[in-house]
Amino acid sequence: MQKIPMPTTLPYGAGVTSRTVSDHYFSAAPASADERRTINVPLAGRTRAVRVAPGVFSADRIDEGTSVLLQHAPAPPDTGTFLDLGCGWGPIALTLGLRSPAAAVWGVDVNERALGLARDNARSLGLPNVHAVSAQAVPADLRFDLIWSNPPIRVGKQVLHELLLTWLPRLAADGVAYLVVQRHLGSDSLQRWMTEQGYAATRFTSVKGFRILRVENPG
């Protein structure tokens, strides 16, 4: 199968849709060898060892946008049902699980390798409250008090919109989502689109070229 190198920057709406690209981080089953390794990263105020692998988003460090979200989103509530949409190896779900041990944290991803890593990381960090699963495995009646996400902008506008229209309606009545999006990858246009869909989408903050968008259930 032909390998096409990933572009380094790709604006919102210009996603890679070709099925010939088989080893991008949003493949269900990345083609690269599953060579797992351990890295040390800052999570919830301490350095912790986590497992990562090629074929998974930001496999050598915590992504800069993710780090902006973790440092600048408001503290999560002590309890509730939380979602990390597109969990990768788990930095957001693990942080939520560490900061709110009484909450139930769900992490979903399309990438099975990422889910396996997130599960291993939750286990090794002693977090039985973090569940990394495929979208289909999330109980259909669950509603989320909090969604934190570094969403997969590079999948393209259409897939991203479908993803958000699948999960944002599952916010609880007073639930809130915080999404981190790079300004150059279309954060403002995504904010406008969510507003057009009836969500109260505002810019919570802007840090280092990233926006954190705050999205409320329209009720």
Ligand X SMILES: C[S@@+](CC[C@H](N)C(=O)[O-])C[C@H]1O[C@@H](n2cnc3c(N)ncnc32)[C@H](O)[C@@H]1O
Least distance in Å: CB of 24 to ligand X? 8
- Find the part of the chain contacting ligand X (CB under 6 A) among 75-83, 86-94, 125-133, 195-203: 86-94
Rule CB under 6 A: say whether 68 interacts with ligand X.
no
Rule CB under 6 A: say whether 70 interacts with ligand X.
no
Give the residue, chosen from 41, 43, 53, 66, that forms a contact with ligand X under the rule CB under 6 A.
66
Give the residue, chosen from 43, 53, 83, 92, that forms a contact with ligand X under the rule CB under 6 A.
92
Rule CB under 6 A: say whether 86 interacts with ligand X.
yes
169-208: contacts with ligand X (CB under 6 A): none
Asked if 186 contacts 210 with a C-beta cutoff of 8 angstroms, the reply is no
183/200 with CB nearer ligand X: 183
26/144 with CB nearer ligand X: 26
- Find the part of the chain contacting ligand X (CB under 6 A) among 1-9, 58-66, 181-189, 201-209: 58-66
By CB under 6 A, name the binding residues for ligand X: 25-26, 57-58, 63, 66, 84, 86-88, 91-92, 108-111, 114, 135, 150, 152, 155, 163
